Structures are given as structure tokens and as C-alpha cells.
């Protein structure tokens, strides 16, 4: 891309000054006598308040309909999501969520189905659960699936519970787990919750694991290894089979963190790679909305040998009907109420049916293509620690900007002024000043080119006008916060009231 092309594209910025509404609390907006609806005369006898509430003034603001509509519309305009623009948040796979999936999940016959209905009245929903299990097993190459876990870390925990139950069944409980420095950050916590001591495995100079190092750490007291593949550097662990053989030879198991599955749908067979347990993030790879705390879904896929340890109940097919199987004596038990986050499962089911096998594979191919395109277009201006083909994400650092005292944080904040959500920064920890960019397959070339041009412009600003970056963002409702002060002195009780002041 020429300098003229770069500058021209960046001049058409997504972010503008625009109208930024201030919005008070509803209690500050309300005025006595306002009403947003007509309530019919009650024909139900009045009931007294609970004794604990008697004498307590109930403070509900009086608001008109337009007060309420404008309030929530203005608040929504403060948000940024994948429906607003590019969301290159590395390791999170913030792809577009097709609205048809929302429509299927909101279908009354599905959304209003009670989880305690008897099986004879739940054949449709049980079939949906069963078929989703089968789809995920086919996509991963593994044999059996539980849909219960509610998120990725919950899937990790379930996987570690299965490790623990397996070794206990074998009659020799183990106490350590190998975790590479390129694994997801929640892996050590999930293992620790099951009583395992995490043993760090350092990646090599190429960003990959060295099987010889794994062999030196793997012993009969080690339950196995937790691999993220592709790893958090966006690189595929090419020697995964060799590593799995080493672990298996010592009686251990291989856990696959499938949070980065968006790079390898229809390409990687986890079972052939030697993986025994794999979790999936449906709210990432299978395009169900996530963020703001949820909801998510983290199904766990396992080999035939580990199927008896899966959580119960599981949807199974017997003849022409679908049932919930609970009689699994070796099961780790229930890890979620009822059947997991059902609405999320419906959206993922809809997404898989819409895409089909070839569509899912094509999505991964385009995600990898987009990430490699960004890597190649920016590696002459941003430091690229590992200059090799990446998978779904690429990782840069701020090394080239150190002379101007510009950090990754400064560049990320400046991206906000240009109308982009910043990428993941300072992760993975093995790269100092990391900037992890994951465009997903959702973005077209024109939008990616604009993002590339914007980052190139920011790099140029770092050389010529570093103060712009130090003071960024400048166009937002809230300017840069004192993050050090916030970390050291967090406000845990809310804002002070007028009386406190």
C-alpha cells in the first residue's frame, strides 16, 4: 500500500466529534406526576408490604414514555459492539452475529419451553440438543459432547474435573498439570480449582512448544497438559502429535483449549492430534453474542474412553425418540442447572445449520487469510516478534515506538479516536508490549484496509506528534482514565451520595 493510499484511507475516519449526549440518572430526570403508561384499576385486593419493608419509602422515579426511550437510547449510543464496527479483539473472536440466529432462539416454542417438561413433551428441544452434540463431535473429530458448561473457563473446569475423575478411576490420583506460557490465562486457575499444581512450560524461540522440554517435565504424578492450539501467539502447535504421544506414554491426558477454534473449523481433527478433552466457546467460534459478562457456552468434547465421565444429563437418541441420560456412575455430575445456557445453544445450532460443513471451513480459511493480510501489511511499521504465517490472529509489539516513548496503550487509545475498538493489548505475556489483532472472517477487504491505514497513520503520528497519542482518546465522552490509580485504589462501594459529600 502506497503512502498516498494509506493517508487517503485514514483520512476517512470512522470516529467523529458528533453529538455525544450527557444523560443523568433516571432519579434525576423524574418529575412527580409524569407517567409513561395507563394502568387499569386493580381488581386485586391490596396486600400489605413485607414487614421488613414497612416504613421504608420506595423510591421509583415518575417518568414519561419519551423520558424512558431517550434515556436508554442515549445509553446505547455510548456502547461499541460488533454491530457498530470492527472489533479486532485478539483471543476473543468477536465475529458478527447473524440476526437469523437470534430469531430462531426467540421462537416462542423454543424460548418458552420449560426445562422441567417431561421428555414426551420436549422432543423438539431434546432433538436440538442431541443434534448440536453430534455436530460439535463431527467438527472436532471427537466422540462425545456435553453442552452444560456455561463459558470457556467453565468448560476448562469441567475438563479438569474429567481429568481428576479419570485418574481417580485408574486408582492413582495425580497432582500436577503442564501449562505452556502460550496457553490462555484461565487455564492455571481451572486446574488449581481441581487441586492441580500448574507447571509452566516455556515456549521456544519460534513461539512453539519443544517436545523435549515437555518430556523432561512429564512424569507419573502429572495428570497431563493443557494446550491452546492455535496458541495465544496465533501460531499452530505443529508438533502437537509428538507432544500428545509423550504425555500419553506417561499415562497422562491432553486437554485442548478450543477458544481459538475459529482458525481450524473443518481443518483440524482434534482426536487425530491426540487431544482427549476439548472445550469450545460457542460465543466465539459459533457466532453467538458475548461480552458484558455473558451469556456464553463452553461445551466439552471428549474421546470415547472419557465419555463415561461427562456431566449428566446428556441428550441421547433411543430409537425414534430423544431422552435425557442420567445413569452414568462415573460422571462428574451436573455442572449447570438444567441443560446449560439453552438460548446460546440454539443460536449456535442455527449458525451451524446455516453455514454447513463447507461454510464453516470457509469461515476459518477467511479468518486466517484476514489475519495474515494484516500481519503482512503492518510488519514494516510495527514490530512482529514471530515473522511466520499466523492463524486467526497476529501479535505485534510497541518495540519500534519505544524511541518516541509511545506504548501499546497509547496506540490503542488513539485507535478509539479513529472509531475502532482497540485490539487486545499486553497479552500474551510472552510478548512485551503485545498488541493482538484478530479481524475474524466477518470483515471485508475494504474495512480491513481502512483499519490498516489507520494504524499506519497512528504510527506516523507517534513519530511526528507523540503528544496526540499520550493524550488520546480526545473525541470520547470520557477521556483517558488514571488506570494506575484505579488499580491501586479501586472504588468498590459506588459513588458517594450528596450527604457523604
- Cβ atoms 271, 256 nearer than 8 A: no
Residue 226: strand, helix, or coil: strand
- 38 pLDDT band, cuts 50/70/90, is confident
Can you tell me which residue has the cell 381488581? 43
Calculate the alpha carbon distances from 459 to 67, 373, 385, 469 in Å.
Answer: 44, 18, 17, 10
In this structure, how many other beta carbons lie within 10 angstroms of the beta carbon of residue 345? 24
Q: Which residues does residue 325 pair with via DSSP β-bridges, in sequence order?
A: 314
pLDDT in tens, 442-466: 999 999 999 999 999 999 999 999 9
pLDDT in tens, 183-224: 998 999 999 999 999 999 999 999 999 999 999 999 999 999
Q: What ranges do the domains of the chain cover?
A: 101-354
Alpha carbon 449 to its chain centroid, in Å, reads 25
Nearest-angstrom CA–CA distance, 444 and 358: 19
pLDDT of residue 5: 41
Q: Which residues does residue 317 pair with via DSSP β-bridges, in sequence order?
A: 322
Nearest 10 degrees: CA dihedral of 443, 445, 451, 452? Answer: 140
Multiple choice CATH, 101-354, 3.90.280.10, 3.40.47.10, 3.40.640.10, 1.10.10.10: 3.40.640.10
- Cβ atoms 213, 201 nearer than 8 A: yes
Nearest-angstrom CA–CA distance, 463 and 34: 56
Which has more confidence, 398 or 497? 398
| CA nearest neighbour of 275 among 297, 302, 298, 307 | 302
Residue 395: strand, helix, or coil: strand
pLDDT in tens, 138-150: 999 999 999 999 9
pLDDT of residue 1: 37
Segment (H or E) for 323? strand 321-325
Cα dihedral 272, 276, 282, 283 sign: negative
Longest dimension (CA), the chain: 78
pLDDT at 491 over 50: yes
- DSSP, residue by residue, 158-224: HHHHHHHHHHHHHT----EEEEETTS-TTHHHHHHHTTPEEEEE---TTSS--HHHHHHH--TTEEE
Can you tell me which residue has the cell 483449549? 257
Segment (H or E) for 350? helix 342-378
Find the mean pLDDT for residues 404-432: 95
- 496 pLDDT band, cuts 50/70/90, is low
pLDDT at 499 over 80: no
Amino acid at each position: 500500500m502506497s503512502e498516498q493510499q494509506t493517508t487517503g484511507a485514514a483520512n476517512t475516519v470512522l470516529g467523529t466529534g458528533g453529538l455525544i449526549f450527557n444523560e443523568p440518572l433516571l432519579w434525576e430526570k423524574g418529575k412527580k406526576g409524569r407517567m409513561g403508561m395507563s394502568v387499569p384499576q386493580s381488581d386485586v385486593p391490596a396486600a400489605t408490604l413485607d414487614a421488613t419493608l414497612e416504613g421504608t419509602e420506595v423510591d421509583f422515579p415518575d417518568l414519561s414514555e419519551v423520558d424512558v426511550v431517550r434515556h436508554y437510547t442515549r445509553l446505547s449510543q455510548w456502547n461499541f459492539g460488533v454491530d457498530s464496527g470492527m472489533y479486532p479483539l485478539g483471543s476473543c473472536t468477536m465475529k458478527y452475529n447473524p440476526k437469523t440466529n437470534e430469531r430462531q432462539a426467540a421462537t416462542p416454542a423454543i424460548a418458552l419451553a420449560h426445562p422441567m417438561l417431561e421428555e414426551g413433551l420436549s422432543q423438539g428441544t431434546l432433538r436440538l440438543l442431541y443434534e448440536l452434540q453430534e455436530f460439535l463431535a463431527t467438527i472436532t473429530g471427537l466422540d462425545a459432547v456435553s453442552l452444560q458448561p456455561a463459558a470457556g473457563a467453565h468448560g476448562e473446569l469441567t475438563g479438569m474435573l474429567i481429568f481428576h475423575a479419570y485418574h481417580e478411576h485408574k486408582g492413582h490420583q495425580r497432582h500436577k498439570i503442564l501449562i505452556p506460557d502460550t496457553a490462555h490465562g484461565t487455564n492455571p486457575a481451572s486446574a488449581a480449582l481441581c487441586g492441580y499444581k500448574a507447571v509452566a512450560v516455556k515456549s521456544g524461540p519460534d513461539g512453539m512448544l519443544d517436545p523435549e522440554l515437555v518430556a523432561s517435565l512429564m512424569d507419573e504424578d502429572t495428570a497431563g497438559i493443557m494446550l491452546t492450539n492455535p496458541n495465544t501467539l496465533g501460531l499452530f502447535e505443529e508438533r502437537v502429535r509428538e507432544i500428545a504421544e509423550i504425555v500419553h506414554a506417561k499415562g497422562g491426558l491432553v486437554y485442548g483449549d478450543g477458544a481459538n477454534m475459529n482458525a481450524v473449523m473443518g481443518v483440524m481433527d482434534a482426536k487425530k492430534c491426540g487431544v482427549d478433552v476439548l472445550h469450545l466457546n460457542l460465543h466465539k467460534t459459533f457466532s453467538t453474542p458475548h461480552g458484558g459478562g455473558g451469556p456464553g457456552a463452553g461445551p466439552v468434547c471428549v474421546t470415547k474412553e472419557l465419555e463415561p465421565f461427562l456431566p449428566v444429563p446428556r441428550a441421547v437418541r433411543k430409537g425414534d425418540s430423544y431422552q435425557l441420560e442420567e445413569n452414568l456412575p462415573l460422571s462428574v455430575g451436573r455442572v449447570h442447572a438444567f441443560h446449560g445456557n439453552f438460548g446460546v445453544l440454539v443460536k449456535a445450532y442455527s449458525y451451524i445449520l446455516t453455514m454447513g460443513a463447507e461454510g464453516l471451513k470457509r469461515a476459518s480459511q477467511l479468518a486466517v487469510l484476514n489475519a495474515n493480510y494484516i500481519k503482512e501489511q503492518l510488519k514494516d511499521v510495527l514490530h512482529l516478534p514471530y515473522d511466520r504465517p499466523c492463524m486467526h490472529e497476529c501479535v505485534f509489539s510497541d518495540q519500534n515506538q519505544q524511541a518516541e516513548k509511545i506504548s501499546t496503550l497509547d496506540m490503542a487509545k488513539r485507535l478509539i479516536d479513529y472509531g475502532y475498538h482497540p485490539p487486545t493489548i499486553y497479552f500474551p505475556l510472552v510478548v512485551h508490549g503485545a498488541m493482538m489483532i484478530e479481524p475474524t472472517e466477518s470483515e471485508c477487504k475494504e474495512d480491513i484496509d481502512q483499519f490498516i491505514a489507520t494504524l499506519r497513520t497512528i504510527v506516523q503520528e507517534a513519530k511526528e506528534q507523540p503528544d496526540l497519542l499520550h493524550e488520546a482518546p480526545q473525541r470520547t465522552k470520557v477521556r483517558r482514565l488514571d488506570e494506575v490509580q484505579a488499580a491501586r485504589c479501586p472504588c468498590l462501594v459506588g459513588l458517594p451520595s450528596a450527604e457523604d459529600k
